[in-house]
Amino acid sequence: MNTRDTTHLPPDHPKLPPRRIGILLVNLGTPDATDYWSMRRYLKEFLSDRRVIETNRVLWWLILNLVILTIRPSRKGRDYDKIWNKTLNESYLKTITRAQSDKISTELASDPRLMVDWAMRYGNPSMPSRLDAMQKAGCDRILVVPLYPQYAAATTATVADKAFEALGTMRWQPALRIAPAYYDYPVYIEALANSIEESLAKLTFKPDVILASFHGMPQEYLEKGDPYYCQCHVTARLLRDRLKMDDKQLMLTFQSRFGPTEWLKPYTDKTVEALAKSGVKNLAIITPGFSSDCLETLEEIAMENAEIFRHAGGENFAAIPCLNDSPGGIGVIRDVLARELQGWV
């Protein structure tokens, strides 16, 4: 039922808002701008998360505040500036996540019970602000959708942490669901395959090799029981099956390592360099672990790794876009919603 039963309340009692169901799409995060202090605020929030960095807290506080937050904001600000959406003065991750939310909202507009919004785990719009807005709008049930195809404690779990932390400040808490990872969902695999086929058809060359580059994590996290590494391999295997490729034609690698510790291997940048030196002239990279293009795809892959490839002897390089707010990408989100809203809608 769309309205709350208030027949038992006295006439002068404040009325309850109509019952609604909230859908909150959440992506990793973005700085508000590329200047030093905006980058510093963003990096401090991100790198202070205990699920992201699991090292000794006292040691990490010293490293973070005395070294990283002194040097890294300027460097990362320059990287962000290369791929900044100058028209809207925001990162493309924010632009695309908003577009995903708007398109899902339009598709679901026929059901007045549903309220669709979006947030960033780090930066703005913040998860607490959007969850609070949903609760005040009458949402007594909220589905939080982390836009990470593969589960990791440093991504999906920290979204759940933040959501329940926000509920901890509310007297009237909504019921909450966290959508699971969708790394093996047929709709996701099909959307990836279609995107790859469409992108390859537009290229002026045929790739000798395609790399499926996923965001990395410290090897230690895998050893502690994080399923991320295995889920990435499942996604790659299902994608190979769909595209009728083997593990030499579609290789799996991990990017974005940070710090001196060992991360998941093989590393994307080292593999790109080795392939070029071995005689591979034509290379394409897909990034199936990202639901939307961002710094790691637009700058690290499309710029940095393209330069590595050509410098090592490669010739033709293509960074295939993420699913973003394409019909296939929206179809994946819609499929997740159909599964996870059962019993509520």
pLDDT band for position 6 (cuts 50, 70, 90): low
Question: CA-to-CA distance for 115 and 104, rounded, in angstroms?
Answer: 10
Q: How far apart are alpha carbons 224 and 154 in whole angstroms?
A: 13
Structure confidence by residue, pLDDT tens digits, 97-149: 999 999 999 999 999 999 999 999 999 999 999 999 999 999 999 999 999 99
Tell me the HSE value of 234 on the side-chain side, using a 13 A CA sphere.
15
**Where residue 267 falls among pLDDT bands split at 50, 70, 90?**
very high
3-state secondary structure 191-248: HHHHHHHHHHHHCCCCCCEEEEEEECCEHHHHHCCCCHHHHHHHHHHHHHHHHCCCCC
11 within a domain of the structure (yes/no): no
* Cα(131)–Cα(127) distance, integer angstroms: 6
CB of 250 closer than 8 Å to CB of 239: yes
- The predicted-structure confidence for 8-23, as pLDDT tens digits, reads as follows 656 666 667 779 999 9
Q: Is there a single domain that holds both residue 34 and residue 150?
A: yes
Same domain, 107 and 217: no
Better-scored residue on pLDDT, 258 or 269: 269
State the pLDDT confidence band at 60, using cuts at 50, 70 and 90. very high
Structure tokens at 205: 């060359």
Q: What is the mean pLDDT of residues 65-76?
A: 95
pLDDT the model gives residue 258: 87
Sequential DSSP letters for 1-43: --S---TTS-TTSPPPPPPEEEEEEEEEEE-SSSSHHHHHHHH
114-123: strand order across its sheet: 114-123, 20-30, 139-146, 175-178
**pLDDT for residue 70:** 96
Residue 78 maps to a domain: yes
pLDDT score for 1: 40
**Which pLDDT does position 260 carry in this prediction?**
85
pLDDT, tens only, 176-224? 999 999 999 999 999 999 999 999 999 999 999 999 999 999 999 999 9
Q: Residue type at 196?
A: I
User: What is the pTM for the complete model shown?
Assistant: 0.93
In the predicted structure, residue 344 carries a pLDDT above the cut 80: yes
In a domain, 15, yes or no: no
For residue 316, what are the β-bridge partners?
A: 282
In a domain, 2, yes or no: no
CB hemisphere CA count around 137 (13 angstroms) = 19
149/260 same-domain check = no
Do 229 and 135 belong to one domain?
Answer: no
Q: Which of 39, 66, 61, 40 is nearest to 50 (CA)?
A: 61
Token pair of 75, please? 């460097």
What burial letters (b/e) apply to 103-126, b meaning 16+ CB within 10 Å? bbbeebeeeebbbbbbbbbbbeeb
Regarding whether 164 and 211 lie in a shared domain, the answer is no
Task: Report the CATH number at residue 113.
Answer: 3.40.50.1400
Same domain, 193 and 122: no
Q: Given a cut of 60, is residue 31 above it in pLDDT?
A: yes
74 with 160, same domain? yes
Block residue for tokens 């790198």: 47
Question: What's residue 18's pLDDT?
Answer: 79
150/289 same-domain check: no
Domain co-membership, 238 together with 177: no
Considering its fold, how many domains does the chain have in total?
2
Expressed as residue numbers, the domain containing 96 is 20-181+329-340
Q: Mean pLDDT throughout 64-85?
A: 96
Q: Is residue 205 part of a domain?
A: yes
Q: Please determine, for residue 76, whether its predicted confidence score (pLDDT) is greater than 70.
A: yes
Residue 155 covered by a domain:
yes
The reported pLDDT for the residue numbered 152 is 98
Question: Encoding tokens for residue 282?
Answer: 């034509």
Task: Give how far Cα 177 sits from Cα of 22, 332, 343, Å.
Answer: 10, 18, 12
Average pLDDT, the chain: 95
Q: Residue 151 to residues 114, 119, 178, 345: CA-CA distances in angstroms?
A: 26, 18, 12, 25
Residue 124 domain flag: yes
Domain assignment present for 221: yes
Q: What is the mean pLDDT of residues 231-247?
A: 98
- 3-state SS class at 189: helix
- pLDDT of 294 over the 60 cut: yes
> What average pLDDT does this structure show over 269-293?
98
Give φ, ψ of 111 to 5 degrees. Answer: -105, 105
Q: Are residues 214 and 298 in the same domain?
A: yes
Tell me the three state secondary structure of residue 257: coil
Same domain for 243 and 225?
A: yes
Widest distance between CA atoms in the chain: 81
Same domain assignment for residues 115 and 256 = no
Rounded to whole angstroms, how far apart are CA atoms 177 and 184?
20
Burial class of residue 57, CB neighbours in 10 A (0-12, 13-18, 19+): exposed
